[in-house]
Structure 1
């Protein structure tokens, strides 16, 4: 009768499947953390740009900063006068002044300042001249036909930025702001605070709300809406308020439970599961094998636990604690013993590949022959035989060690009393 060859290694298909599963898992984790990593890198780049901007301001001196501010104020005044005139003549307003790119020019980077929106974690994002796609790829832009963001009455600066980008959050969470929230502009040496007083969604060509309002100091933040569809524009307008005025509402975090929160929370939960699994594995709870005995056996021998069963004579164990308890009850009844006198010894099988083995993963034809023809009684070839039990349909395996050499591969973990508690 043909027999299975002793199993000494796992099939290549199994190893390949494990390798592919591991690679897919790593790839999935990488995709999950990619937005967090690239946003962190973008934040570092923004911080570097802001630092260079501040250093440049210090280098050019106070008099030059004052001169740049006066030029910008004159620019806004002329812009307002032109706007009022064209409005009175019903001429559409769509033109910046010719010297636009030279106003608020601290260096050749095109950066005119930076913006902070604490309630949605927008921290020091650079503001650049213009609203071209190239400009918006760098950070927040400025619509040339609007006032420069230096504050002052009769001004209305319009600052657009992208949303929904994977590599930089920018204005992605702008829709979370509420009326009464605030944002800050830092231009030259100015620190300006604006309190949100109007939030609206409009069509791309509806720009009437971006007009300059006489006597008011306004800034409107603009982004595409809704994220991913982008067929509308979200306008969040703020009016200048004193820096010293701080309301309780300003301390509310609007995106506390954003993407980063859920990814980090999920990762933390997975990490905790991983640690618990590692502890479970290290404590021997993984692949635990149970053996019924009358006493604790830290270094068992065949004489200590020789039994006769479906796989012939040997030292019998099972991977099911429930089945081990049934064995215990059966032994107590058969030998007329008090069940409280019996224990379950818990082991883990180590370096089993070094043993000559015969493993039945399922109730195959060979498994039936091995049991029915009682091949286990004369089996001197295999030191370890593993297979399912005939008395149950569940995946309960029995392990039979047939030599003293095989018993040396058992690592003792602990001993349980009948109730399952440690002894």
Structure 2
């Protein structure tokens, strides 16, 4: 009976090890699948909300989806610019959403779909950088512009540098100058081109303010990877001449324009500005990464450690169990002789 229990325990341990080894791949697949489903649901709901075109052709503007919401967002953008974004007094203001989108008929509080061809990444964008929203995809920071485009706007979207198997902005360092980034909203597809890369301190609110006369999109995530003491910004400006393309076309453009040279990133800290070269190579998690204390980032280094080391932990567990089984079998043979 004791031998049977030991065999059952050994096989359970092996199954646990296999589960640990598969965990990162399965988590990444499930996260990507969930993001895709959320984006598809958002796009379908927006398309269904567009009113039918009137029979007469003397209408000044075409019918819009969610007209009340569109007008409210336009008014909001104009107001925060006129007020100098006075409500953005500290980073905690980022968490507060300005609207309840479900009240206007948009599902899941999603305001846009973010497409970054360089990373082959599509994320739903939620209003407000709360913990819950950051766990699900990109989050539009409170007191920054709603994603409508136009002069005097800066739509700022934050995302984790990896979360529970989802890569999100883990490889943000691969994005290069001139890259295309697209925002799809219920009203338009907005195409931006990367014009600046920055590294800032987490409390540097000035770096994400609206710049008069410009139509900007800013992505922000933790930096350096697993340490989280700074923020990495990707700043893109609206390209009015760019037409929306298919994902396949965008990915082909990325392949043709890839530059393996280090990224020239502006570093702002303590009132000083300097240039830093950041290698664009894809991050391959190593066993020692993420083992330090959380240094103030939104994403726990402990979770990064679990993600990165699941494969190693599973392998070691299986090796240990199989080794014990072999040693036990050898010992039983020796005892029987």
Aligned 8 A contact 1:153 1:217 in 2: yes
| Structure 1 counterpart of 2:187 | 189
Of structures 1 and 2, the one with the larger relative CO (CA 8 A, separation 6+) is: 2
Aligned 8 A contact 1:184 1:191 in 2: yes
Which entry has the higher C-alpha Rg, 1 or 2? 1
Q: Could you give the per-residue CA deviations for residues 100-135 of structure 1, whole angstroms, max 9, x where no partner exists? A: 205794425211011111211212x11111111122
Shift of 1:180: 2.4
| Counterparts of 1:38 and 1:116, CA distance in 2 | 21
Aligned 8 A contact 1:141 1:160 in 2: yes
Matched, 1:250 2:254: yes
Shift of 1:61: 2.3
| Structure 2 counterpart of 1:53 | 42
Change (3 A) 1:249 1:257: farther
Aligned 8 A contact 1:69 1:188 in 2: no
| Structure 1 counterpart of 2:114 | 115
Shift of 1:147: 0.6
- The 5-angstrom pairing of residues 22-421 of structure 1 reads 23-62=12-51, 63-65=63-65, 67=67, 68-83=69-84, 100-102=98-100, 105-107=104-106, 109-123=108-122, 125-241=123-239, 242-244=241-243, 250-251=254-255, 252=258
Q: Could you give the per-residue CA deviations for residues 288-328 of structure 1, whole angstroms, max 9, x where no partner exists? A: xxxxxxxxxxxxxxxxxxxxxxxxxxxxxxxxxxxxxxxxx
SS at match of 2:163: coil
List runs of 5+ in structure 2 lacking aligned partners: 52-62, 245-249, 260-279, 286-307, 312-332
Aligned 8 A contact 1:164 1:228 in 2: no
Shift of 1:258: 5.5
* TM-score normalized with structure 1 length: 0.50
Aligned 8 A contact 1:71 1:103 in 2: no
Measured on the aligned residues, the alpha-carbon RMSD in Å equals 3.8
Change (3 A) 1:137 1:101: same
Aligned residue pairs total 249
Shift of 1:211: 1.4
* TM-score normalized with structure 2 length: 0.62
